[in-house]
Amino acid sequence: MIFKESERLKSIPPYLFAEIDLIIKKKQEQGFDVISLGIGDPDIKTPDPIVKELCKEAANKENHRYPSSYGLKAFKIAASNFYKRRFNIDIDPEKEVLTLWGSKEGIANIAYTFINPGDIVLVPDPSYPVYKIGTMFAGGSTYNMPLTEENNFLIDFKKIDIEIAKKAKLMHVNYPGNPTSAICDLDFFNELVNFATKYNIMVCHDNAYGDIYADQKYKPVSFLNAKDSKEVGIEFYSLSKSFNMTGWRVSFAVGNSSMLSSLGKYKSNVDSGVFNAIQYAAAAALDNYEEYVDLNNKIYNRRRQKVWELLDKIGLKYYKSYNTIYIWVKVPNDYSSSSFAKLLLDKANVVVTPGNAYGEYGEGFFRISLTINDEKLEEALDRIKNVF
């Protein structure tokens, strides 16, 4: 029997990365050796001490019971200490930290927590698809904030329609950004707080890539470094990219205590919290973050340089960012984002993500992910070079 999906589910497009997985699988079934530069899933293994901590805590029978939906105390203390050392921000571990099943879950559920049918959410374009999809599931509508190369892919608050701003309830922000890899400074975050305060808008900052940078010169700040930021919003910090823990599904949100209390209230009704052993291991990761981040960044910096060299050689222009695990590249003349991605798939068996998959303002670009081992990355680059 075939059962009808809900109208809510039918209203959304297929999830981008699930579609990429299907494309890769189909090509592989046809006998092709496909190399994917499309998905931001680190190939570097989770550091051994973190895994050992998981194994130790998984052997403790006390951790086999239901965890708290609000998070393990030890993990929240580690998150608080991390924010003090990394960003020099004081965080109350009891009231200003909430454990999440990865940032994706938190971003999606923040919509169910605060958005009523018809509410407006401000969303950057191009951006991570879940900002829009979460809003749609909750019955809200999104208003695109264009990210353009001319403005270094920063939100231009002056171009947001005043009547929309007055009605908007929540805004998603993401710096360093996916897919553009753009970064902002503290002045931008201060402007963001002023805008949100003026129009009574909640801010949700996605800080998934805050610890991937070339050197200290490009080390990002936190949204919570901005004056009065806790009054208007929260920040999602993910362990997925910084600690190579995408499959572990653990992150946390920090900031406005009222927003976090409400999100925790929602989560307590729909999930039973993150396995305590994973939270203990995540706490160990945060306690030793400098060592792990430095190792990751050496690898990503090396790969970034390889891709830049290839793009320079074949004449493709790109946004030169020293942050994130992505490179945002302009498609050649006479191609759209989709047609060029299809060309690379057909001619080189290399998967890249077309920019228009992240929104209308992503058209004209494609995204390369650095989450593949050096040998495969070099092979993929050679295949792309041969297309030209």
Cα separation, 254 vs 95, in Å, equals: 9
Of the chain, the end-to-end C-alpha distance in Å amounts to 49
pLDDT value at residue 2? 85
What is the CATH number assigned to the segment(s) 7-45+291-387?
3.90.1150.10
Confidence of residue 209 (pLDDT cuts 50, 70, 90): very high
Q: How big, in percent rounded to 5, are the helix, strand and coil portions of the chain? A: 50, 15, 35
Cα separation, 97 vs 76, in Å, equals: 6
pLDDT at 79 over 80: yes
pLDDT at 27 over 80: no
pLDDT at 29 over 90: no
Give ranges for CATH 3.40.640.10 in the chain. Answer: 63-287
Cα separation, 353 vs 338, in Å, equals: 8
Residues 6 or more apart in contact with residue 324 via CB below 8 angstroms: 176, 177, 178, 181, 209, 212
pLDDT at 11 over 80: no
Calculate mean pLDDT across residues 145-162. Answer: 97
Calculate mean pLDDT across residues 36-56. Answer: 96
Share of the chain above pLDDT 90, in %: 87
Q: Judge whether 204 and 236 are in contact, CB under 8 Å.
A: yes
Tokens representing 36 are 């994917």
pLDDT value at residue 272? 87
pLDDT value at residue 104? 95
Calculate mean pLDDT across residues 323-342. Answer: 95
Tell me which amino acid residue 123 is.
V
pLDDT value at residue 381? 94
pLDDT at 16 over 80: no
Share of the chain above pLDDT 70, in %: 98
Confidence of residue 5 (pLDDT cuts 50, 70, 90): confident
Cα separation, 197 vs 119, in Å, equals: 18
pLDDT at 249 over 90: yes
Cα separation, 126 vs 110, in Å, equals: 20
Using one digit for the tens of pLDDT, what is the confidence trace for 274-283? 999 999 999 9
> pTM of the full predicted structure?
0.95
Calculate mean pLDDT across residues 226-241. Answer: 98
pLDDT at 262 over 70: yes
Cα separation, 194 vs 85, in Å, equals: 26
Tell me the C-alpha to C-alpha distance, in Å, between residue 125 and each of 59, 144, 149: 45, 6, 12
pLDDT value at residue 15? 60
pLDDT value at residue 21? 72
- Compute the chain's Rg from CA coordinates: 21
> CA neighbours within 13 Å on the CB side: how many for 216?
2
Cα separation, 208 vs 239, in Å, equals: 8
Tell me the C-alpha to C-alpha distance, in Å, between residue 227 and each of 49, 97, 187, 250, 252: 36, 19, 10, 28, 21
pLDDT at 3 over 90: no
What is the CATH number assigned to the segment(s) 63-287?
3.40.640.10
> Residue 353 gets which letter from DSSP?
E
Phi/psi of residue 339, nearest 5 degrees: -70, -35
Residue 103, H or E segment = helix 103-114
Give ranges for CATH 3.90.1150.10 in the chain. Answer: 7-45+291-387
Cα separation, 381 vs 87, in Å, equals: 36
Give the chain's mean pLDDT. 94
Which long-range contacts does 79-86 make (Cβ < 8 Å, 24+ apart)? 79/237, 79/252, 79/254, 79/283, 79/286, 80/254, 81/286, 81/287, 82/286, 82/287, 82/289, 83/222, 83/224, 83/237, 83/254, 85/289, 86/211, 86/222, 86/289
Q: Which residues pair with 172 in a beta bridge?
A: 204
pLDDT value at residue 6? 85
- More reliable by pLDDT, 30 or 107: 107
Using one digit for the tens of pLDDT, what is the confidence trace for 81-102? 999 999 999 999 999 999 999 9
